[in-house]
């Protein structure tokens, strides 16, 4: 298997991934008056972990089963790489929409509190029966109510209808099309729709994903799909690198420390912006 892992784009992928780590870690431990920055780091870490896992999957998967086969099975798990690529794309679009898209400060705070509430409100669906969990549940509820209070204080929330406010306080809002977010982030609108639909198909197990799995039984064919997904990831990672460099001086210094890699990221970002 080791001889078959020569994916054309793997070294460039690792180079871009390395700079992705650097620009995000440049902010680690830095004091800030903005409570949103640590949350921005959380999404950046999530994106990096997904992309790093894509690299390891590109090295091949070996399982000791089925027992009927003496050597088990080994393959290149390109369907899982596709699912992770969707996660990379979606994480970046969330990161851009909440933290980097050019908007007013009030809109930024509204989006940030909605992003928090949409996740933390899930905890309210589970009321523990164990008395020993009561104090922890109460603390969780207090945190959620604090988020709601901050959300309610924004002009964006106050300008919403009463019915919409009720939905917002439940952590729900009218969904924004991902293609619109991608367009604002500099992706070609048509291309981003196709990409998102394609990768969502792997996450939701549509017919095309099944057909492609069947059509790629050899290592070379499986690696071909992984190479494709790595190209998509490099576009996304490069956009994140540019965003971080533009937003944070510490991250810009990390980019300047590796000018050749930063130039490659700029090229990928420019190619992405020129897609239809």
Give, as one character, the DSSP assignment of residue 33: S
Q: Residue 69, SS3? A: coil
* Stretch (H or E) spanning 74: strand 73-75
How would you label 81-102 residue by residue, b for 16+ Cβ within 10 Å and e otherwise? bbbbbbbbbbbbbbbbbbbbbe
* Helical residues (DSSP H) of 26-133, grouped into ranges: 36-58, 78-95, 105-120
| The residue to which tokens 């679009």 are assigned | 93
pLDDT, residue 124, reads: 82
Mean pLDDT by 10 residues, the chain (276 residues): 68 97 92 90 95 97 91 95 98 97 96 95 82 83 96 97 96 88 92 94 96 96 97 97 96 98 96 88
pLDDT, residue 5, reads: 54
Give, as one character, the DSSP assignment of residue 62: E
pTM: 0.92
pLDDT, residue 259, reads: 98
pLDDT, residue 2, reads: 44
Q: Where are the domains of the chain?
A: 2-274
Q: Whole-angstrom Cα distance, residue 25 to residue 14?
A: 16
pLDDT, residue 18, reads: 98
């Amino acid at each position: 298997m080791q001889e078959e892992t020569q994916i054309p784009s793997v070294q460039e992928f690792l180079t871009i991934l390395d700079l992705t780590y650097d620009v995000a870690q440049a902010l680690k431990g830095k004091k800030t008056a903005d409570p949103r920055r640590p949350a921005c780091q959380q999404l950046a870490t999530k994106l990096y972990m997904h992309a790093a896992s894509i690299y390891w999957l590109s090295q091949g998967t070996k399982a000791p089963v089925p027992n009927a086969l003496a050597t088990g099975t080994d393959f290149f798990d390109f369907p899982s790489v596709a699912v992770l690529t969707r996660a990379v794309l979606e994480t970046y679009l969330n990161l851009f929409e909440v933290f980097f898209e050019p908007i007013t400060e009030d809109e930024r705070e509204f989006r940030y509190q909605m992003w928090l509430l949409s996740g933390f409100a899930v905890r309210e669906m589970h009321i523990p029966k164990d008395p020993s969990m009561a104090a922890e549940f109460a603390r969780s509820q207090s945190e959620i109510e604090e988020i709601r209070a901050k959300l309610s204080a924004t002009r964006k929330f106050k300008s919403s209808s009463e019915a919409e406010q009720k939905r917002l306080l439940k952590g729900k809002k009218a969904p924004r099309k991902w293609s619109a977010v991608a367009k604002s982030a500099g992706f070609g609108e048509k291309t981003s729709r196709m990409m998102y639909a394609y990768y969502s198909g792997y996450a939701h197990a549509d017919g095309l994903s099944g057909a492609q799995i069947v059509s790629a039984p050899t290592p070379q064919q499986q690696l071909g799909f992984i190479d494709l997904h790595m190209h998509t990831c490099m576009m996304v990672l490069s956009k994140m690198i540019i965003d971080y460099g533009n937003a944070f001086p510490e991250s810009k210094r990390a980019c300047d420390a590796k000018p050749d890699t930063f130039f490659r990221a700029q090229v990928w970002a420019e190619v992405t912006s020129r897609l239809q």
